Amino acid sequence: MTQGEPRPLTIVSVLPELLGGNGDAENARVLAQRARWAGQPAEVIPVRSAADLPPQVDAVVVGSGTDAQLNPVRDILLGMADDLRAWATAGIPILAVGTGLELLSWGIELQDGSVVEGLGLVAGRAVPRAARATGDLVVTSKHGRLIGFENHARNFVGAEASALGTVASGIGNGAGAEGVVMGNVIGTHLHGPVLAKNPVLADHLLRAVFAARGTEYVPAERALQIDGIAKAARNQIAVRLGLATE
């Protein structure tokens, strides 16, 4: 690395307005804040079209949007498909939530039988559910137990071999597994600020980000304090669901 002022971390938030209704886009802020607290300057770059893409990228967040916007959002994403693929191959962390995950997959089957082609970045495809899945979602993963909220109209099939974890409570992908992992690309139905509520996942991504820069990520004291709040929030949900607390 060069001496002096290193380039701040660049966290891309893809279509924060169209893919931010549940607060998923704010996961970019969570990564940036935890990096800053650890002494590493970071900035969140909102990307609304391929033209906004910065030359160098350290992490990417793709949030969840409405079904009415699936096609227009996919069309914008297609314009950055090559970049997303290059980043995924290079091991740059990408977090995709809800319809963000669905659009990065092979495609989305809609209730009326039509299909929205995905970008084919991760294995699997979305298929309609009889009833919407709305409620708490608890996932057992190699990072530990992940807890959040899910709200989606479709199941996710074809990613069983590379899931993020198994469902301890809730629906997830629909058949016992939840999410999909491909290298440092993580797709999940845990919507909203999943990285704030589950800092193990945030720090897993940040370790990859820092390692790519030849440094080691160590969570700041501040982050650890705030993680205590997240733990209390997770435990509250666990108690409500009759699960053991941490």
| 198 interacts with other proteins by CB under 8 A | no
Nearer to other proteins, 123 or 227 (CB): 227
Task: State which residue, 21 or 187, has the beta carbon closest to other proteins.
Answer: 21
Q: Among residue numbers 71 through 130, which ones bind other proteins (CB under 8 A)?
A: none
Query: Closest Cα to residue 223, out of 203, 207, 209, 237?
Result: 203
Residues labelled catalytic: 191
Residue whose token pair is 């491909």: 182
154 known ligand binder: no
Separation in Å, CA 30 to CA 79, 85, 162, 177, 222:
26, 23, 25, 25, 13
Window of 144-152, 156-164, 177-185, 207-215 that interacts with other proteins by CB under 8 A:
144-152
The total number of residues shown for the chain amounts to 246
Residue 34 CB coordination number (10 Å): 25
To other proteins, the closest distance from the beta carbon of 207 in angstroms equals 19
User: 11 phi and psi, to 5 degrees?
Assistant: -105, 120
CB of 143 to other proteins, least distance (A): 18
Closest separation between CB of residue 160 and other proteins, Å? 27
Write the CB contacts of 214 (distance below 8 Å, at least 6 apart in sequence): 1
Could you say which of 134, 176, 224, 246 contacts other proteins (CB under 8 A)? 134
Torsions phi, psi of 72, nearest 5? -60, -40
Closest among 134, 116, 133 to 125, alpha carbons compared: 116
Question: Is residue 67 a contact point for other proteins (CB under 8 A)?
Answer: yes
241 binds other proteins (CB under 8 A): no
Residues of the shown chain interacting with other proteins in the complex, contacts defined by CB under 8 A: 20-26, 29-30, 33, 66-68, 132, 134, 148-149, 151, 153, 191-193, 196-197, 226, 229-230, 232-233, 236
Q: Which residues are annotated as part of the binding site for substrate?
A: 132
